[in-house]
Amino acid sequence: MSKAAGFQGVPKGDEISKACAKCHSSTESMKRYGSSLPTGQLEQLQASVHGNLATSGKEHIAQCSTCHNAHGIASVKNVSSPVHPLQVVKTCTSCHANASFMKTYNPSLPVDQLEKYRTSVHGIRNSRGDHKVAECASCHGSHDIRAAKDVKSTVYATNLPTTCATCHSRADYMKEYKIPVDQFEKFSNSVHGVALLEKHDLAAPACNDCHGNHGAAPPGIASVSNVCGTCHAINADLFSASPHKKAFDERKLPECETCHGNHEIIVATNKLLEVTADAVCSTCHSETQNVRGYEVAASMRALIDSLDEEEQRAIALVDEAEQKGMEISEAKFKLRDARQARLEARTMIHSFSGEKLEGVVAKGLNIASAASLEAQQALDDYVFRRIGLGIATLVITVLVISLYLFIRRLERRP
């Protein structure tokens, strides 16, 4: 233990990670031992959320030995290693499930992740010895773990679908689980995916908003409407009070998913509400089967179409009047109310009640008609002004010419 011979004693605090980095941050040293491991782990750790200062203020929160142990270090492929896929959950939760420890850093962070994970499909399979399913490091990373609100985090809202797709889009990896691998592709083309991935709208749902995160599980038939209802609350309430609720329950059909799909949800259009062969309603309703629903669907489509047509007519008239320089601010304000009425009508469709929808549509028709009337009056006023201007111009021109001729006649007199 001679210091002259290089003995350093037991490293403490950040000196632990520095001691590991003497080899693990050196490309030459790692090649000497025949290792192909990356050499930037310490830099990643220092830039991660675990690289923040501990409560003592003298060292970082986590050191290499925190997860890998000190003398009992084993390869990540060794099942006895604390960072092996079957052990890493236990390693992470040694801190993250400790309420007393976690509240000193962030009291708002939940400490029940382990309990939730054990109820998930991933957790159940992991506890049975399946090392392929997702665990903590699969989603959060290992050395470069960042806060969920960090745009560089693998679990940041716009990055999360790609993180999930790392496994779920691999046909070879998912083959034994016998589930589709096109979810990410469908989600990317959906109204939710476009809003999140292209428009960067963080209010749009990612995978975990529907499936959960640590307690991830496929939404069941009984829960899918509750999942959608967390955002689309009014639609969910209307559907629960509709005649379709009982019918769907009896046939064990998922509620929202039956009409709108799951991953590839497209923008809802009037085509969904129709009695043609390719419409959603025709799946269960026809002229000979469930006729009442067939009739209601046709009448509701007619109501929606009438509101759309009246709104478009009002918009065209208002735009024309505005282009001609007329004052139609009140009519433009009414168009906003008409648009709101149209949105309310589309929502009311989930009640599947022609009477309720008719009331909302009637309100929208009255507003749109009022806007059309004001715009038409402005256009009529425009025409009247143009005609008046033309007549006035003609009269003035005649007077000017007459005056000119009269003056010339006066000038010719001796």
Res. 410 pLDDT band, cuts 50 70 90: confident
What average pLDDT does this structure show over 341-357? 92
Task: Report whether pLDDT(176) > 90.
Answer: yes
What is the reported pLDDT for 138? 95
Type of residue numbered 319: D
309's tokens = 């047509």
For residues 332 and 388, the answer to whether their CB atoms sit within 8 Å is: no
What is the reported pLDDT for 55? 86
What is the reported pLDDT for 289? 83
Q: What is the rounded average pLDDT for all residues in the chain? A: 91
For residues 52 and 66, the answer to whether their CB atoms sit within 8 Å is: no
Cα 139 off chain centre by: 19
Domain 291-412 classification at class level: mainly alpha
Q: What is the CA radius of gyration of the chain?
A: 35
What is the reported pLDDT for 283? 85
- Please, which residues bridge with residue 53 across strands? 60
Domain range annotation of the chain: 13-73, 76-178, 291-412
Distance CA 176, CA 160 (A): 23
Q: What is the DSSP letter of 289?
A: S
Q: pLDDT of 282-322, one tens digit each?
A: 888 888 888 888 889 999 999 999 999 999 999 999 999 99
Task: Report whether pLDDT(104) > 70.
Answer: yes
Q: pLDDT of 30-51, one tens digit each?
A: 999 988 889 999 999 999 999 9
Reference 207, options 148, 164, 153; nearest CA is: 164
Task: Report whether pLDDT(200) > 90.
Answer: yes
What is the reported pLDDT for 221? 67
What average pLDDT does this structure show over 324-343? 91
- Contacts of residue 385, Cβ cutoff 8 Å, sequence gap at least 6: none
Distance CA 288, CA 280 (A): 16
The DSSP-derived string for 30-58 is: HHHTT----S-HHHHHHHSGGGSBPTTSS
Reference 136, options 200, 36, 50; nearest CA is: 50
Please state, in angstroms and as integers, the Cα–Cα distance from residue 157 to each residue in 147, 265, 290, following that order. 12, 18, 43
- Contacts of residue 72, Cβ cutoff 8 Å, sequence gap at least 6: none
What is the reported pLDDT for 146? 95
Instruction: State percent of the chain over pLDDT 90.
Output: 70
User: What 3-state class would DSSP assign to 60?
Assistant: strand
Task: Report whether pLDDT(390) > 70.
Answer: yes
Task: Report whether pLDDT(64) > 90.
Answer: yes
For residues 161 and 210, the answer to whether their CB atoms sit within 8 Å is: no
The DSSP-derived string for 226-274 is: HHHHTT-HHHHHHHHTSHHHHHHHHHT--HHHHHH-SSSPPPP-GGGS-
Q: pLDDT of 123-173, one tens digit each?
A: 999 999 999 999 999 999 999 999 999 999 999 999 999 999 999 999 999
Asked whether the whole model's pTM tops 0.75, one would answer yes
